[in-house]
Amino acid sequence: MEHTAVCVEIRESPEPEPLRSEVITSIYGTMSDSAKTPQPAPAPRGDKAGTDFSYVGIDAILEQMRRKAMKQGFELNIMVVGQSGLGKSTLMNTLFKSKVSRKSVLTKEEERIPKTIEIKSISHDIEEKGVRMKLAVIDTPGFGDQINNENCWKPIMKFINDQYEQYLQEEININRKKQIPDSRVHCCIYFIPPTGHCLRPIDVEFMRHLSKVVNIVPVIAKADTLTLEERDYFKQKIREDLRVNEIDIYPQMEFDEDAEDRVINEKIRAMIPFAVVGSDLEYQVNGKKLLGRKTKWGTIEVENTAHCEFAYLRDLLIRTHMQNLKDITSSIHYEMYRVRRLNENNNTQPNGQLNGQRPLQANGVPGPEVLSHEM
């Protein structure tokens, strides 16, 4: 697997780029909300502590956690799956170019996500308001492009399990790293072709197997090819098909933590699958530069929620559910893999010792059992 690192820095305001030292100050030093509005460092014994003797300062833990998180930065690994030509690479380029990283427009042709032949990860280092984020996109080759598509979900399942295995090996290492590099797939965006009918058997097959090992967010690709009525009907039909086939896509109802979570997630569940349109080209519309698709009858603005639901997808991935995607990956999907692997090791090796290499087959995928990694 090739790994290309593209370093991108984003800053919101049009001010001159701050010096590197300024950024570092914002990450490590001040307790500011933003790198640009430094506030005095928090005094554990501030005004409140001076006058109110009953104040212990437990609330300051939030600030400590924030500082730690800022130092560590954030990582998010997104995988895209679907037939070739459905706009996977374009949508990921849209994601990088849109407001997540408006300033990170990748102008050079070679920095764009290229046509995919193998499973390939491309990562972007993004920095916004002093918060660092490593956003990796795992682009998969045309899924279901063959004449016989039986078991074509297996290489993707294998890739996901391989990442869990790598993490597990790091974790059980005696000299384990303080921060284990995390290549686990936090979210898999599955592209449904805009047929307007219903889910195809291959879509059902993929999501049925993969939803047990990874967070799946289905999207209707190239939604500009559907009329509004077709789109609504198709979305409804897909939700019904998912329900009938008992496919639990993200955000999974059983993992809603409380009533508040439930209210937010219900709204998302009612909208899924997002009908998206992608583009990495910018056009001038009413004097503003917008990402869009220019047609003879007008320009589809990809970030405009009146035109398509790309912005909802982006908000889900980045603004509202990023931490939750990571938490569910770690505490549900990875945990299931880990428990199964450790049990398996205990069973196969009488002394219960983990040698970190076998009994898995090559690449850590032990035959059909772990391939399915379904319990």
Ligand X SMILES: Nc1nc2c(ncn2[C@@H]2O[C@H](COP(=O)(O)OP(=O)(O)O)[C@@H](O)[C@H]2O)c(=O)[nH]1
Which residues are at the interface with ligand X (CB under 6 A)? 82, 84-90, 222, 224-225, 277-278, 293
Binding mask 65-104 for Mg ion (x = CB under 5 A): -----------------------xx---------------
End-to-end CA distance of the chain: 29
- We find the least distance from the C-beta atom of residue 323 to ligand X, in angstroms, to be 28
Q: For residues 26 and 89, which CB has a smaller minimum distance to ligand X in the complex?
A: 89
> Parallel, antiparallel, or unpaired for β 120-128 and 187-192?
unpaired
Q: For residues 167 and 310, which CB has a smaller minimum distance to ligand X in the complex?
A: 310
When CB distances to ligand X are compared, the closest residue is 87
- We find the least distance from the C-beta atom of residue 82 to ligand X, in angstroms, to be 6
Q: Tell me 333's DSSP state.
A: I
What CA–CA distances, in Å, run from 25 to 35, 38, 89, 375? 8, 9, 36, 47
Q: For residues 88 and 314, which CB has a smaller minimum distance to Mg ion in the complex?
A: 88
- We find the least distance from the C-beta atom of residue 116 to Mg ion, in angstroms, to be 4
**CB-side exposure of 39: number of CA atoms within 13 Å?**
7
Q: Tell me 243's DSSP state.
A: H
Centroid of chain to Cα 293: 24
Q: For residues 77 and 94, which CB has a smaller minimum distance to ligand X in the complex?
A: 94
Q: Which residues of 178-201 are buried (b: 16+ CB within 10 A; e: fewer)?
A: eeeebbbbbbbbbbbbbeeeebbe
Note whether 345 and 352 are within 8 A (CB): yes
Q: For residues 35 and 300, which CB has a smaller minimum distance to ligand X in the complex?
A: 300
Binding-residue total with Mg ion (CB under 5 A):
3
- We find the least distance from the C-beta atom of residue 15 to Mg ion, in angstroms, to be 36
252 binds, among ligand X, Mg ion, none (CB under 5 to 8 A by kind): none
Among 116, 169, 304, 372, binds Mg ion (CB under 5 A): 116
169 binds, among ligand X, Mg ion, none (CB under 5 to 8 A by kind): none
Q: For residues 238 and 302, which CB has a smaller minimum distance to ligand X in the complex?
A: 302
Report the alpha-carbon distance of residue 248 to residue 217 in Å, rounded. Answer: 10
When CB distances to Mg ion are compared, the closest residue is 89
Which residue in 311, 306, 56, 88 sits closest to 189, CA to CA?
A: 88
Report the alpha-carbon distance of residue 162 to residue 156 in Å, rounded. Answer: 10
> Parallel, antiparallel, or unpaired for β 288-295 and 282-285?
antiparallel
Q: For residues 91 and 216, which CB has a smaller minimum distance to Mg ion in the complex?
A: 91
- We find the least distance from the C-beta atom of residue 230 to Mg ion, in angstroms, to be 25
- We find the least distance from the C-beta atom of residue 79 to ligand X, in angstroms, to be 13
Which chain residues interact with Mg ion by CB under 5 A? Answer: 88-89, 116
